[in-house]
A and B are shown apart, each in its own frame.
Chain A
Amino acid sequence: MNGDREPRRFPDPGPAVWAEVEALYRRECVLLQAGRYREWVGLFTPDISYRAPVVRVADTREGMVAAEEELAYYDDDHETLTLRAEKMSLTLSWTEFPPSRVRYFVWPLEIERIEATEIRVTSNFLAYQTRLDHREHLFFGEREDVLRMDGPSPLVARRRIVLDRSRLASENISLFF
């Protein structure tokens, strides 16, 4: 990830799946922008692996993104993601009280069918956050999802988020990506 995205190796699943994925991502943006974290957790499968590995300044591309067993900003399963969502929903969670104003932009998407019921979606994202009187943070990055397609609507079963920035410019991360 992080720039050396593989060209498509699996088949394009066709326009119906594209429409479903875009609907899922639209819904996700709406929920996150509104701070509806508890509903947002409902977009993930019970066996979700939600990770955002740290990025380091390394001499080679291979060394830039922390490996699976290394440090991340998020390394959550369903239990801890729910805990985070619950915490962020409380009024005494100072990072979102008063609430931030947030915009998410997820584009472009690349969608591949990797299994009969699983597709992989790779995308770039930009999250703009402003809070209190004038605080502003920008988070640019890349996201790779594995979506499970065997239910009434797609669910995220695996998410990898790679923020481009190495030393984060913000005093905290209170956003989900």
Chain B
Amino acid sequence: MSREILASVDPDNGSVPIALFHDDAIYQRELRRVFATSWLYLGHESEVREVGDYITAAMGEDPVVLVRSADGLRAFLNACRHRGAKVCRAEKGTTRALRCPYHGWTYNLDGELFGVPRRHTAYFHELALDALGLVEVAQLDTVHGLVFATWDAQAPSLREYLGDFLVYLDLMLARSPGGVEVIGGVHKWSMETNWKIPAENFCGDQYHLSTTHASSVEVGLRNKVTEHGHTIHVEGGHSLVRERGGAQAGSAAVTEYTRYVEEVRERVARERGAAAAEFVPIGVGTIFPNLSFMDSVRFRTLRIWQPRGPHGVDVSSWCLVDAELPSELKQAAMRQYILSFGPSGMFEQDDGEIWTSIAEATSGYVGRQLGFNYAMGLGHELPVAEAFGIDMPGVVGESFMTEANHRGFYRHYKRVMAG
């Protein structure tokens, strides 16, 4: 059954079966093929600055803890090797060791089991502690402080995985000398929809802005969407959409942060040329499978869409700023982020409303037999370098409004799911 569903994933003809968003077998296969093999985002280095700092996160449905040990960052399945109790229960903290609350097995920051109560009297000294360390991810690496990990020892390196997208990530994350940091904590909420719905939206769904976000446009929080920008995807299912002038430009509630972004754009233009400056701020995008971002003229956010069954998503969303910014500008960016995004954001609240209705509207028998339509701009795609005469990787839609990025996402998804 899931084989038939996968066979009808046909982005090159603009169609993806709706069953892909509902089927249990497909979902289980996603956990194995997509989430246990891809590089997944865990958090930002600025959240775990000192030795002993930890945050809890998830990779697919598996809870993990990211901790800084004396040797660097490590990530473990957040489950005790004895009977599986959660070892770290707070969402962040600082600790010298990871002590299980059930029977007290204790692991050091490198995940090694070193403390077992009644090791002599109950275990007769026969328990092999070295074999019972916390289960560690297969690979962990960072790019601009963003921490990624994968369960797949055979996976290519993080840099290979990001591939051509690194150029664009550099533009988003390395445009200011001090790099970026996460401020203020995490927004966490749950939605009843399939994780691919928000992930593909952030790939580059400019098309929904005028209707989904009509009310926020009407009050001036952003200008009417135009036909001008670049909708770009690269191999590997990663993509972004850049609007001319920068996303979220509008007349209402403008702050100094917007001026700061303009200054950065001018500096990048001087240092790296006008073509690169077009990508300040870089816009909206998704790194396969479930890390999305929005870098706008008002704020910058990162978010992950954690799968929770075929009809559930746990969202975690952060505000990301240039580390060197004065605190007033960081605060301005955070307040703008809250105003527009996160569960109460004037934009994101409407996204959540629509996305949950998709799950509801298509889960019936008849609904599941159909396909979603991804035909926009089919056959109207060309290399970025050719379209703009600049030396940048990827493929761009001939017109700004296109589902080329969605198709790139599902093309890669199909490859991964087939393997």
A residues neighboring B (CB under 8 Å): 52, 54, 56-59, 63, 66, 69-76, 79-80, 83-84, 86-88, 90, 92-95, 135, 166-174
Contacts and interface: CB of A to CB of B under 8 A. Distances in A.
Contact of A171 (B90, B92, B188, B192): B192
A122 B219 CA distance: 33
Please give me the 5 A-B residue pairs with the lowest Cβ-Cβ distance, nearest first.
Answer: A171-B352, A71-B184, A172-B349, A168-B189, A172-B352
A135 B354 CA distance: 13
Contact of A80 (B90, B92, B339): B339
A52 B350 CA distance: 19
Contacts of A167: 188-190, 314
- Centre residue among B221, B314, B346 by max chain A CB count within 10 A: B346
Given A56-B91, A74-B344, A86 B219 contact: yes
A157 B352 CA distance: 31
A63 B90 CA distance: 10
Which interface class (under 10, 10 to 19, 20 to 34, 35 or more) fits B? 35 or more
B90 A90 contact: no
23 contacts: A56-B92, A57-B91, A69-B184, A70-B185, A71-B187, A71-B319, A73-B338, A73-B342, A75-B334, A75-B339, A80-B253, A87-B215, A87-B216, A90-B215, A92-B214, A94-B350, A135-B356, A166-B91, A167-B189, A171-B343, A174-B344, A174-B349, A174-B353
Nearest to B252: A83
Contacts of A88: 215
B184 A172 contact: no
A87 B335 contact: no
A136 to B, nearest CB: 12
Nearest to A86: B219
Contacts of A168: 188-190, 343
Contacts of B335: 75, 80
B355 interface: yes
Interface of A is mostly: loop
A167 B353 CA distance: 17
Contacts of B228: none
Nearest to B216: A87
Contacts of B193: 171
A75 B338 contact: yes
Given A70-B185, A74-B344, A90-B218, A95 B349 contact: yes
A79 B254 CA distance: 11
Contacts of B183: 70-71
Contacts of B93: 58-59, 63
Contacts of B331: 69
Given A56-B91, A87-B216, A169-B190, 11 more contacts: A57-B89, A58-B91, A71-B334, A75-B338, A83-B339, A83-B346, A92-B211, A93-B215, A168-B190, A171-B189, A172-B349
A56 B186 contact: yes
Interface of B: 89-93, 183-193, 211-212, 214-216, 218-221, 252-253, 314, 319, 327, 331, 334-335, 338-339, 342-344, 346, 348-350, 352-356
B65 to A, nearest CB: 13
A92 B346 CA distance: 12
A72 B184 CA distance: 8
A115 B184 CA distance: 32
A92 B209 CA distance: 12
A58 B327 CA distance: 25
A118 B99 CA distance: 48
Given A71-B186, A73-B338, A172 B252 contact: no
B86 to A, nearest CB: 11
B101 to A, nearest CB: 11
A83 B219 contact: yes
A94 B212 contact: yes
Most-contacted residue by chain B among A66, A69, A75 (CB, 10 A): A75
Given A75-B338, A168-B189, A171-B192, A70 B346 contact: no
A92 B349 CA distance: 12
Q: Which of A54, A66, A71, A74 has the most B CB atoms < 10 Å from its CB?
A: A71
B187 A54 contact: yes
A63 B319 CA distance: 19
A149 to B, nearest CB: 28
